[in-house]
Chains A and B, each alone.
Chain A
Amino acid sequence: MEAHTLHRRLGALLAGIGIAICIVVATSLILPRQDVYDDSMDYGYVYSGAKSSSVDFIHANLTDETLLVLGSSEFSTPARLVPQIPAKTFGTHNYGARFMLVGEAFDQSLWDTIALGALAKEGLPKDKVALIVGLGMFTDGGLDASTFSTRFSYTLYREFCSNPRIPRDVVAKAQDRLSEQGIDETTVRSAAPQNPLDIIDGMVIGGIDDLRLRSQLNETRAAGIPLAAGPVQTPDWAELHAQALRDAQRLSTNNDWGIEDDFYASQLEPALESLKDARADETYTDTPEYDDLELFLTVCDSCGIKPLVVIEPVLGKYYDHIGISLETRSAAYQHIRSIVQSHPTAQLADFSDHEYDKHFLFDIVHFGWTGWIDAEKSLYEFATEGK
């Protein structure tokens, strides 16, 4: 190829790259920023991965009376199955406390640690956070890498790394854990850059994550509920509990496990026979999750955040059936308690003794009718103490 032809082709190639860059820039200009929201709406109860990963969106929606609550799949429970979920109890009444639920299915203590470190960088209302943990997080082997990779948020991780209140050795521990969970070295290094290449990597990965969140947050905005208005009321917990029992009796009619009808008929009942003693080898000991919980509490201490750790029980009768003994479960609960109690500022809301309470869960692992009311009472008291 002649030299002038080669130059022309190179020019054409550069022009192509230029056009692609223009398209990226135009996309960036079209999408609303992450912190755009409607101040007449409440997004705290929206179950959304994009919301949970967006530091800007969460901070824009925090008020002085908001408590950040980190959890996972329990936030996905629909109100048609359990009318006692926080979106109904707190989202439709002005109790003088609001809750920002952050997390999705499979978010565990490492994800929670990174999310807390990211969100605490700019401070949290009343310097408090609540964390919901359940035994499902502590199964042997820990969370597999492929599942974790779908929940990893670069935006949260970058903010976590740049929080000056978190000691560098704590950041390094989190980075080691991310590498163990399959996050590639380029991504891990780029949020705490040590050379110009790391900075460029961070700009590209961060830029793509920003656009993805901005695109997905439109769904979150559409799912917001109108802010609860009117004078501040005090929750009548006895009446809420009584209503929860009435709803449970209406929605749990085809089984004596005390769980929701459709879950029992479609998921549990068909599998019961094959599940007998199927998990007898579970120990709840061979997992990095306990160290991750310790890391979470260390970040709380570093950032001056007071945590409430809510222990969600599992369905005792089901776990007996699959061969995980009460003794094994009790040891795991005790391990969790001992970690929390080793941090003087941490509080516990321990519901592990409700494993055999009918209607406390609506399935085998998630708060149900009376369970949510009891959990909400502890969250409300923690949020409003000293008010």
Chain B
Amino acid sequence: MARSKNKTIRARYDAFLEEHPIAADALVCASVAAALTAIFLFVTFSGFGSSAEFIYNQF
């Protein structure tokens, strides 16, 4: 049942790409730009790997 539903979704997805090629291209372009931008913003500005706070118990 679930498999048949998935198949239907896949068929509708393929049909959409077939019928709207420009929208599909735009989707690919936007996804790539968004993913790369998100990685860039995270690595550069998130503070990931920022300085450790001083803790006394190491001394």
Contacts and interface: CB of A to CB of B under 8 A. Distances in A.
| A and B interact | yes
Interface in A1-44: 5, 8-9, 11-13, 15-17, 19-20, 23-24, 27
B9 interface: no
B49 to A, nearest CB: 6
Interface stretch (A143-151, A233-241, A290-298): A143-151
Nearest to A148: B52
> Which secondary structure dominates chain A's binding surface?
helix
A106 B45 CA distance: 22
A23 B25 contact: no
Contact of A16 (B21, B29, B45, B53): B29
Q: How large is the interface on B (under 10, 10 to 19, 20 to 34, 35 or more residues)?
A: 20 to 34
Interface in B4-39: 21, 24-26, 28-33, 36-37
Nearest to B17: A5
A211 B26 contact: no
A49 B36 contact: no
A173 to B, nearest CB: 25
Nearest to B50: A150
Given A149-B49, A150-B51, A364-B56, A208 B44 contact: yes
Interface centre among B33, B40, B53, B58 (most CB of A within 10 A): B33
A212 interface: yes
Interface string A149-161: 1110000000000
Interface string A358-375: 000001110000000000
Contacts of B36: 16-17, 20
A351 B29 CA distance: 63
A330 interface: no
Contacts of B37: 19-20, 23
Contact of A215 (B24, B30, B44): B44
B40 A23 contact: yes
Interface in A191-221: 208, 211-212, 215
A105 B54 contact: yes
B31 A8 contact: no
Contacts of B51: 49, 104-106, 150-151
A94 interface: no
A208 B40 CA distance: 8
5 A-B pairs closest in CB distance? A16-B32, A20-B36, A105-B54, A19-B33, A12-B25
Interface of B: 21, 24-26, 28-33, 36-37, 40, 43-45, 49-54, 56, 58-59
25 contacts: A8-B25, A9-B24, A9-B25, A9-B28, A12-B29, A13-B28, A13-B32, A16-B29, A16-B30, A16-B33, A16-B36, A20-B33, A20-B36, A23-B33, A23-B37, A49-B50, A104-B51, A105-B52, A106-B51, A136-B58, A151-B51, A267-B56, A364-B59, A365-B56, A365-B59
Given A24-B40, A211-B44, A212-B45, 8 more contacts: A13-B28, A16-B31, A16-B33, A19-B37, A23-B37, A49-B50, A106-B51, A136-B59
